[in-house]
């Protein structure tokens, strides 16, 4: 269980990294651009379905908030018991 809890924590960190990287212009050919692509590739399978379900809130993407809350409250607390 500790490994799964650690993986959930790592994924939550990647979601936060994705949010922070979205605040700054990133050169897609640079090192930060490569990190941004990797983080997007890892988080997209979870974030995209949530984006499709949630209503639009203008230019603000609230899917990271929903994903982090779901992972921390449901997955970690109720399912894994971390």
The one-digit pLDDT tens for each residue of the chain (82 residues) are 789 999 999 999 999 999 999 999 989 899 999 999 999 999 999 999 999 999 878 888 999 999 999 999 999 999 899 8
Burial class (CB in 10 A: 0-12, 13-18, 19+), 43: buried
pTM higher than 0.85: yes
Give the residue numbers spanning the domain of 17.
Answer: 2-80
Residue reference for tokens 């984006």 = 51
Q: Which helix (H) or strand (E) holds 60?
A: none
DSSP character for 30?
S
Q: How many CB atoms lie within 10 A of CB 36?
A: 19
Number of domains in the chain: 1
């Amino acid at each position: 269980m500790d490994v799964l809890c650690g993986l959930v924590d790592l994924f939550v960190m990647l979601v936060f990294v994705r949010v922070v990287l979205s605040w700054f212009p990133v050169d897609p050919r640079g090192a930060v651009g490569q990190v941004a692509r990797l983080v997007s590739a890892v988080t997209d399978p979870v974030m995209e379905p949530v984006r499709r379900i949630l209503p639009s809130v203008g230019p603000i993407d609230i899917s990271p908030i929903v994903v982090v809350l779901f992972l921390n409250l449901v997955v970690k607390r109720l399912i894994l018991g971390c």
